[in-house]
Chains A and B, each alone.
Chain A
Amino acid sequence: MSDYAIIGKRMPRVDSRAKVMGKAKFTADLKLPGMLVGKIKRSPYAHARILNIDTSKAEALPGVKSVVTGKDTEGVKWGVFAYTRDQEFIQTQKVRYIGDEVAGVAAVDEETALKALDLIEVTYEELPAVFDSMEAMASETELIHGDFPNNINVHVNIDTGNVDENFKKAHYIREDTFVAPEESYFQAEPYAIVARFDHEDCLEIWCPNGGPHMKSKPLSNAFKIPLHKVKVRKIAIGGAFGGRSEICPVDYICALLAKKTKKPVRIQFTREENTIATRQGHAMITTHKTGVDKDGRVLARETTCYMDGGAYSSTGPIATSVPFLSMEQAYRMGSVRYNGYRIYTNKPIRGMIRTHGRGFAAGLDTQLDMIAEHIGIDPVEIRLRNSRQPGEYTSTKSYVDSCAMDETIHKAVEKSRFKEKWGKLPPLHGIGIGTNSVQTGFPMGIRGGSQSFIKFNEDGEATVMSGVVDNGQGNDNMLVQIAAEELGLLPEDIHLVSADTETTSSDPGSYSQVSTFVGGHAVKIAAQNCRAKLFKVASKVLKVSPDKLVAQNRLIFVRDDPEKSIPIKKVVRISLLNFNSVNAEGGYWPKVDMKREWVKNPYGQMCEAFSFGTTIVEVKVDPNTGQVEVLEATAAQDVGYALNPLVLEGQFEGSIAMGGQGGMLTEYHEWNGGRCINPTMLDYKLPLACDMPPKINNIIVESVDPKGPYGAKEAGMSIAMSAAQAYSAAVSNAIGVYMDSFPLTPDKILAAIKSKES
């Protein structure tokens, strides 16, 4: 369907060779001369006042090089927004969750560092603690943060007007509440960081990150050094899934220890630390009230959600909004009122996660299925009657340009034979559908755009510089593919320099599904600008105008007369001999409404493109044990345009695992007070190869977005979310009970079956 040479092909990833050889370096693999081992002293109490910290014994221990506490931080605080800056990098006054940072140690080896932690004496005065959002709002004990009444951290209110009037017109109204506890990222790589101050007093950092430029700016602020002196380096990253996007205290502490000791310091988290002291997903209690007309079209909706945000703000305002935004993008809803509350509790900090709002979304879809049953249509039909259409505005006034939501539904329905199976499956077999939409980027102000620089080397190969980071999803390959396509080179001719804040320009980071759309776009433009320079020179040699030229397979040739050609390498050399530069830059800034703000003004253009996904799964439930066997999953997503189907399929399949199999069946955190009792891979049940459905059908739908590079949008999250919805719908369908508490563990399923029988 295209005449691209490299784009759209099933290209094996450029980074996979080093990874299968064990040569790819992750942060914990780094060894620098004189490197020390850092460890963090954490609060064992959920809520306590720090009365005293005595580090003298730890400092006296041979091998200990530095001990830092809150006194060394000069009171700097972290928060994604100016109005959410509520977290000291090391606590000085009080601790707010089990795991809160109270001190850091650098020592010659791990054993010594751990011993030093035990020698730090912290005197606490324990305070009453609260562990769920409802309890926290009603609590009359000491607030977790003094300036936030009722422990309400963020309140997002969206109201399109006419909600109450439209409810009055409704033919049928339902109100249902859905709950889901916290889930976690469980990236394969536990968080690790290496920091050092180099000979020019520049801070050099290696760590898994969702955006190097998102790490460098806050660190430059915290250390009061210019941005160019913070060099976040590229390193292989073992997964992010929405986490690792902002800086966290350990980044600061590691750098501070490096500064004090004048040596490189490495801090490597245990699996437990990765779970409790980075970020987790929010626990949510969501009430959807929906009114429809007699055909099942939504006239009015009111949604109220209480999110357990943990001890600090983190990405709070974004986190409070996104579950709603996903649904307002996916479905038309006449008029809507949304109240999202993010509540402080004395639990680990919650952030954005790929399955963010699984209970919110699965609840909304469950309710749609209930409504469909009431008015006598099937789940597919009610989605088609409410699905987003191209050319519409969302409830919060974002224009939706490309949109193939219906096509994803139709294709998934056809492939899964949903219509043949719906209502006709044997007892305890079920089929369910989920649909979702994800935004390609957020309004991010000055850091919303990405810029790329390309230089040709005299051997005809090119170096591409981009701030885009690869967390594991294949962004490096995406950039190489785009550059090779535009420059007329082969992927092996592209040398990628990326995710390094010293050499690359600003980029929004690899979360909010924006890497291809913005970062990839910038590389495309830079490469086109570079190619134009080559064409200018080549046109003189080939004696045709530049617009008649094509660059492909290391050659520049005349489109209508391919025999007339010149090697790109030669063009580069001619350019250089004639004092012409063969470098170029390019940038892309999405046209979003810069006045849109998460809390103060949640209306206006959110981002330039939206992706749409449909998942259908078929399950069999064991009525004796409540265990679910997933027979087949079908995932269809409007990705805009598939730059590399091989990589996309990997995203779909990984999404089914994380959003559906794990997210809806087994994954959740359990607590004893504020203590997470399943922080490890043994006790938190991630799906294994044997747990997964034997068959996953991937359907790539291409709406070719007019603004996306080659028409591409997003491909990491729509399926993860719709899979959660589809799994829940399929189980409900199998047992004949609409489930309202997620994930759907065997005990809940068995209880539902029993309650239905009695």
Chain B
Amino acid sequence: MEKILITLNINDKPCEVMVYPNDTLLEVLRDELDLTGSKESCGEGVCGSCTIHMDDKPVRSCLTLAMEATGTKIKTVEGLAKGDELSSLQQSFVDHGAVQCGFCTPGMLMSADALLKINSKPDEKTVRKAIAGNICRCTGYTKIVKAVAHAGNSQDHCPDCITFSKAKE
């Protein structure tokens, strides 16, 4: 069994990489391309920690062969920010305290980002459905749901956004 040279379009950059046919996209991202933001938690498509985008749609990279990803536009959590500037969704996760251990966060962000692309002002119920395929063991989801629902809003409209600068009640 030999490695094959493929080209993947990742975060708007073409990457040439040698892969085995049985390499998953997750393994190639993490082991060959040093994009370790995508995580393996269950390895069988349940937990959503490995979620990335293929052509703007959320996909489990642990159940996607690298070979199958050729010719698609791949986006990983590393591609969400513009340089040092966080996307409004990422900033909203920070501000709402939606991150605890952070292991599920990259996958959660990718599922949420895909939702926001088709619905920029989702209600909480819609958010819960969109992230139903992402397991978080720390947060109980409340702050994640708020962070996604308010990612597009001006922070003044969200009582949970009162952050550092303002005193607690």
Q: 1/0 contact trace for A635-676 toward B, CB 8 Å?
A: 000000010011101101111111001000000000000000
A495–chain B nearest beta-carbon distance, Å = 19
B residues within 8 A CB of A645? Answer: 168
Q: Is the CB of B140 within 8 A of A656?
A: yes
Q: 1/0 contact trace for B121-162 toward A, CB 8 Å?
A: 000110111011111111111111100000000000000001
A residues within 8 A CB of B41? Answer: 188-190, 238, 271, 681
Q: A9-B164, A189-B101, A189-B103 are in contact. Are A688 and B43 (CB under 8 A)?
A: no
> Is B117 in the interface zone, CB < 8 Å from A?
no
> Is A34 in the interface zone, CB < 8 Å from B?
no
B residues within 8 A CB of A654? Answer: 100, 137-140
B residues within 8 A CB of A653? Answer: 139-143
A residues within 8 A CB of B140? Answer: 650, 652-658, 661, 692, 696
B residues within 8 A CB of A738? Answer: none
Q: Is the CB of A189 within 8 A of B143?
A: no
In the complex, identify which listed stretch (A21-29, A45-53, A209-217, A389-397) lies at the interface while the others stay far away. A21-29
A residues within 8 A CB of B106? Answer: 22
Q: Is the CB of A21 within 8 A of B90?
A: yes
> Is B3 in the interface zone, CB < 8 Å from A?
no
* Complex Cα gap A8–B124 (Å): 28
* Complex Cα gap A185–B41 (Å): 13
CB-nearest residue of chain A to B101: A472
Q: Is the CB of B100 within 8 A of A472?
A: yes
* Complex Cα gap A656–B104 (Å): 18
B105–chain A nearest beta-carbon distance, Å = 5
Q: A24-B102, A692-B142 are in contact. Are A188 and B135 (CB under 8 A)?
A: yes
Among A208-257, those with CB < 8 Å from B are 236-239, 241
Centre residue among A11, A271, A656 by max chain B CB count within 10 A: A271
Q: A238-B103, A642-B168 are in contact. Are A689 and B94 (CB under 8 A)?
A: no
A21–chain B nearest beta-carbon distance, Å = 6
* Complex Cα gap A628–B34 (Å): 44
CB-nearest residue of chain B to A20: B90
In the complex, identify which listed stretch (B44-52, B53-61, B66-74) lies at the interface while the others stay far away. B44-52
* Complex Cα gap A642–B169 (Å): 11
A670–chain B nearest beta-carbon distance, Å = 17
> Is B80 in the interface zone, CB < 8 Å from A?
yes
B51–chain A nearest beta-carbon distance, Å = 12
Among B71-102, those with CB < 8 Å from A are 76-78, 80-81, 86, 90, 93-97, 99-102
A residues within 8 A CB of B24? Answer: none
A225–chain B nearest beta-carbon distance, Å = 31
* Complex Cα gap A24–B38 (Å): 11
Q: A10-B164, A10-B166, A271-B41 are in contact. Are A29 and B97 (CB under 8 A)?
A: no
Q: 1/0 contact trace for A674-695 toward B, CB 8 Å?
A: 0000001110001011101010
> Is A559 in the interface zone, CB < 8 Å from B?
no
B82–chain A nearest beta-carbon distance, Å = 11
> Is B25 in the interface zone, CB < 8 Å from A?
no
CB-nearest residue of chain B to A17: B94
A residues within 8 A CB of B8? Answer: none
Q: Is the CB of A12 within 8 A of B168?
A: no
Q: Is the CB of B100 within 8 A of A474?
A: yes
Q: 1/0 contact trace for A161-199 toward B, CB 8 Å?
A: 000000000000000000000000111111000000000
> Is A13 in the interface zone, CB < 8 Å from B?
yes
Q: Is the CB of B128 within 8 A of A20?
A: no
Q: Is the CB of B37 within 8 A of A12?
A: no
> Is A493 in the interface zone, CB < 8 Å from B?
no
Q: Is the CB of B163 within 8 A of A11?
A: yes
> Is B19 in the interface zone, CB < 8 Å from A?
no
> Is A15 in the interface zone, CB < 8 Å from B?
yes
Q: Is the CB of B47 within 8 A of A188?
A: yes
CB-nearest residue of chain A to B125: A694
A267–chain B nearest beta-carbon distance, Å = 14
A residues within 8 A CB of B90? Answer: 20-21
Centre residue among B127, B129, B141 by max chain A CB count within 10 A: B141
* Complex Cα gap A654–B98 (Å): 11
Q: 1/0 contact trace for A521-534 toward B, CB 8 Å?
A: 00000000000000
Q: Is the CB of B163 within 8 A of A239?
A: no
CB-nearest residue of chain B to A26: B103
> Is B167 in the interface zone, CB < 8 Å from A?
yes
A324–chain B nearest beta-carbon distance, Å = 27
CB-nearest residue of chain A to B136: A188
Q: 1/0 contact trace for A80-94 toward B, CB 8 Å?
A: 000000000000000
Q: Is the CB of B46 within 8 A of A21?
A: no
CB-nearest residue of chain B to A271: B42
Q: A22-B106, A681-B46 are in contact. Are A649 and B97 (CB under 8 A)?
A: yes
Q: Is the CB of A19 within 8 A of B105?
A: yes
> Is A601 in the interface zone, CB < 8 Å from B?
no
Selected from B34, B96, B109, B137, the residue in CB contact (under 8 A) with A658 is B137
Q: Is the CB of B46 within 8 A of A238?
A: no
> Is A471 in the interface zone, CB < 8 Å from B?
yes
* Complex Cα gap A647–B78 (Å): 25
Q: Is the CB of B39 within 8 A of A26?
A: yes
Q: A20-B99, A239-B137, A650-B97 are in contact. Are A689 and B40 (CB under 8 A)?
A: no
Q: Is the CB of A188 within 8 A of B46?
A: no
A17–chain B nearest beta-carbon distance, Å = 6
CB-nearest residue of chain B to A642: B168
> Is A733 in the interface zone, CB < 8 Å from B?
no
CB-nearest residue of chain A to B129: A690
Q: Is the CB of A692 within 8 A of B141?
A: yes
CB-nearest residue of chain B to A696: B142
> Is A286 in the interface zone, CB < 8 Å from B?
no
> Is B7 in the interface zone, CB < 8 Å from A?
no
B residues within 8 A CB of A472? Answer: 100-103, 138
Q: Is the CB of A16 within 8 A of B141?
A: no
Q: Is the CB of A270 within 8 A of B43?
A: yes
Q: Is the CB of B143 within 8 A of A8?
A: no
B135–chain A nearest beta-carbon distance, Å = 5
CB-nearest residue of chain A to B162: A10
> Is B36 in the interface zone, CB < 8 Å from A?
yes
B residues within 8 A CB of A474? Answer: 100
B158–chain A nearest beta-carbon distance, Å = 12
Q: Is the CB of A11 within 8 A of B30?
A: no
Centre residue among A16, A25, A236, A694 by max chain B CB count within 10 A: A16
A residues within 8 A CB of B134? Answer: 689
A residues within 8 A CB of B168? Answer: 8-10, 642, 645
A residues within 8 A CB of B143? Answer: 649-650, 653
Q: A649-B143, A658-B137, A690-B129 are in contact. Are A21 and B102 (CB under 8 A)?
A: no
Q: A12-B97, A682-B44 are in contact. Are A690 and B164 (CB under 8 A)?
A: no
> Is A583 in the interface zone, CB < 8 Å from B?
no
B residues within 8 A CB of A304? Answer: none
Q: Is the CB of B101 within 8 A of A237?
A: yes
B residues within 8 A CB of A186? Answer: 137
B residues within 8 A CB of A17? Answer: 86, 94
Q: A188-B138, A271-B43, A653-B139 are in contact. Are A9 and B167 (CB under 8 A)?
A: yes
Residues of B near any A CB (own CB < 8 A): 30, 34-44, 46-47, 49, 76-78, 80-81, 86, 90, 93-97, 99-106, 109, 124-125, 127-129, 131-145, 162-164, 166-168
New contact pairs (11) apart from A9-B167, A13-B99, A650-B100, CB-CB < 8 Å? A10-B164, A21-B81, A22-B37, A188-B104, A236-B102, A238-B101, A472-B102, A657-B141, A689-B127, A689-B128, A692-B140
Closest 6 CB pairs of A and B: A22-B37, A472-B101, A19-B102, A238-B103, A653-B140, A22-B77
Write 5 A-B pairs (CB below 8 A) sorted by A numbering: A9-B164, A26-B39, A188-B135, A189-B101, A647-B97
